[in-house]
Each structure stands twice: as C-alpha cells, then as structure tokens.
Structure 1
Amino acid sequence: MAILVVTYLVSLVSFFCGVLAFISVRKHLLSTLLSLEFIMLSIFWFMSSVVVNLGGDCYFLLFFLTLAACEGALGLSLLVSIVRSHGNDNFSSFNTLQC
C-alpha cells in the first residue's frame, strides 16, 4: 500500500514540475514542447498505476500513449516548420503579422 502511495505521489509531483516548467520557461519553443511531453508522460504514469491497482485493461492506456506520440510528432513538425521560416525558435523573434 505504501508503494502505491509513493507511486501516486511521484507521478503527481512530476506533473506539477512539468506544469511549472511549462509556465516558467517561455524563451524557446523546444523547451515548451519538452515540458508538454513531460506532463503527458507523468499523466500516463499516473493512469497506468491507477489501472494496475484496479486490475483493469490497458487498452485505454495504449490509446492515450498513441495520442501522446502523435501530439509529439505534430509538435516537432511545427517546430521544424517554424525554424525553417523564421530561422530560430525564440518566441521573441516571432512576428504575429507574418504568414
């Protein structure tokens, strides 16, 4: 029982660390995307520990992990597109009027 509580606590602390990194680091797009992936992985870890504790099926977890991988691929493709059009991934160099 204590190991289960530690697993829940570690996953929740990692989630809040990811949210803190997402809020505080706003200089580069890559660091923002990495913090989003860290949040997704901590949510996956929490959900998998809950499902294992309850004895349920892992099909929803596989669906969630697939969506997280697709979200990561989409974020990286947007990052490549922005770097090709603007030259870097600094938020301060983006012009909102430019297409």
Structure 2
Amino acid sequence: MTPQLIALISAFLLAMVGMMLHRLHFISILLCIESMMLSLYCMMTTLTFYTHTPTTATMPIMLLTLSACEASTGLALLVATIRTHSSDHMAAMNMLQC
C-alpha cells in the first residue's frame, strides 16, 4: 500500500468520524460529507492512474457530478431549514414532523 493511499483512506475515515462526532450544526455535517466525497474522488483518480484501464477513467467524473448534485441539494436543504427553523442546529429539528 502506498503512503498516498494510506493518507487518502485516513482522510476518509477522519471525515467520517468528524461527521459522527460533530452533529451539532447542519453545515458541519455537509462539510464532512463533502470532504468524504473529495477523498473518494482522489482515491478513484489514483486508482485510474495506477491501473491504466480505460473503463475506470469515467468513474471519477461521475463521482464528481454526483458530488456536485449532492452539494446543491444539501445547500438547498440548509437554506430551507434556516428559513423554517431560524437556525441550523440539528437538535432544534424534529424529523418526524411534516
């Protein structure tokens, strides 16, 4: 295992632990998810670089597209929750309420 791959795996795990521990604000959850997606993108890019197969060349581009869609949806949800609840605290939101 290369040191670059170990660093990317540890970055992914650190973002996952950060998401589990820092669930106070909705924006911090979104930032942790974005850092997880960024580390996955870097892992897929290095995989494509090391394997030299043309079939894996489109995977990072698709992941980047899905990551952009996820970011826009997350920001839209953030704006909607701030408008309705007047804060982004996760404790203030009741998920069972319509």
Q: Could you say what secondary structure the match of 2:2 adopts?
A: helix
Q: Following TM superposition, by how much is the alpha carbon of 1:92 offset from its aligned partner in structure 2, in angstroms?
A: 1.4
Percent of paired sites with the same residue? 30
Equivalent residue pairs, number: 96
Task: Tell whether the 8 Å contact from 2:44 to 2:59 is kept in structure 1 after alignment.
Answer: no
Q: Following TM superposition, by how much is the alpha carbon of 1:97 offset from its aligned partner in structure 2, in angstroms?
A: 5.2
Separation in structure 1 between the aligned mates of residue 94 and residue 10 of structure 2, nearest angstrom: 36
Cα pair distance change 1:93/1:51, threshold 3 Å: same
Q: Following TM superposition, by how much is the alpha carbon of 1:56 offset from its aligned partner in structure 2, in angstroms?
A: 2.5
TM (norm. structure 2) is 0.90
TM (norm. structure 1) is 0.90
Task: Tell whether the 8 Å contact from 2:85 to 2:93 is kept in structure 1 after alignment.
Answer: yes
Cα pair distance change 1:15/1:97, threshold 3 Å: closer
Partner of 1:65: 64
Are positions 1:13 and 2:48 aligned together? no
Partner of 1:35: 32
Separation in structure 1 between the aligned mates of residue 53 and residue 64 of structure 2, nearest angstrom: 16
Separation in structure 2 between the aligned mates of residue 17 and residue 96 of structure 1, nearest angstrom: 27
Cα pair distance change 1:11/1:97, threshold 3 Å: closer
Task: Tell whether the 8 Å contact from 2:24 to 2:89 is kept in structure 1 after alignment.
Answer: yes
Residue segments in structure 1 that go unaligned for 5+ positions in a row = none
Are positions 1:90 and 2:74 aligned together? no
Are positions 1:45 and 2:42 aligned together? yes
Cα pair distance change 1:96/1:64, threshold 3 Å: closer
**RMSD of the alignment, in Å?**
1.4
